[in-house]
Amino acid sequence: MNIAIIDDEVQAQDEVKACLTEYLQIHHPELIPNVRFFTFDSAETFLEGFQEGTFALLLLDIYMKGMNGMEAAREIRKRSDTCPIIFLTTSTEHLLDGYTVFAAGYLLKPLQDSRELFFEVIEHCLPLILASQQQLRILSQGIALKVPFRQILYLDCSHSHRVILHLSEQTFAAQESYSECAEILLDDQRFLECYHRIIVNMDAIVSMEEESFRLKNGVLLPISRRKRLPVTKQYMLYLAAK
């Protein structure tokens, strides 16, 4: 679990790491071995290597030399619409702007003065953070692969009943059975079986049409007539909970 701290003050970076470490020690010590902190002293340096899936959580100072944190957040949202961003600042001036980039939190420095609120914000973000780390382990042409759930658009079966994983830019034929993959994916609230042997990642849906879901890559997936009501209900409940 990679966590990025973007702040041009070393003391502030150390304070964030200390508060996060304290939170983990108290509430989730089992996660500590998997957490890695990465610090950046400017938004420009951070953005050079940032892409979807690079980090599970971003803690971003607003007032920095060069590009400020709010400008950086807008650029981050162009590359990832799900990575949680927590703003750290000395002023409430940009509080309303935080909503435009769907910030998970807006906290005033020093963090020690808002320690309990910081812990609450992290606890609220944690389910999303953990979900972003989940992977489907498959064998494809004899090669063991770990496919992040967030990269899966949908899963279906070929005419030969082979399981096919569809990602944004590639597909994989899995040696596992449909039932084995379905048991894992359908245990995650993001995934929905919309038709016989078709499982869709609801985060990939851009619209629901009369008899199908349209995905962000333009693909139309059919909705089972027999299961239309429960499928529609599950999708609507998922949207309402986001």
* pLDDT tens string 171-194: 999 999 999 999 999 999 999 999
| pLDDT for the residue numbered 69 | 92
Beta-sheet strand order (sheet of 163-167) = 171-174, 163-167, 152-157, 198-201, 191-195
pLDDT at 113: 87
For the chain, list the domains and their CATH numbers: 2-132 (3.40.50.2300), 139-241 (2.40.50.1020)
| pTM reported for the whole predicted model | 0.73
Divide the 242 residues of the chain into consecutive groups of 10 and give the mean pLDDT of each group: 95 95 94 95 95 92 92 93 89 69 89 90 90 91 93 91 92 95 95 97 94 96 95 95 75
The pLDDT, as a whole number, for residue 82 is 84
Q: Are 36 and 2 in contact (CB under 8 A)?
A: yes
Task: Supply φ then ψ for residue 138, to 5 degrees.
Answer: -135, 165
pLDDT at residue 91 in the model:
73
> How far apart are alpha carbons 61 and 142 in whole angstroms?
45
Bridge partners of residue 59, in order along the sequence: 5, 86
Looking at residue 158, its pLDDT comes to 84
Residue 101's pLDDT is 87
Give the Cα separation of 86 and 108 in Å (integer): 11
Question: What Cα–Cα distance (Å) separates residue 188 from each residue in 45, 70, 149, 165?
Answer: 34, 32, 9, 16
pLDDT at 14: 96
Give the model's pLDDT for residue 128: 84
pLDDT at 52: 84
Written as one letter, the residue type at 94 is H
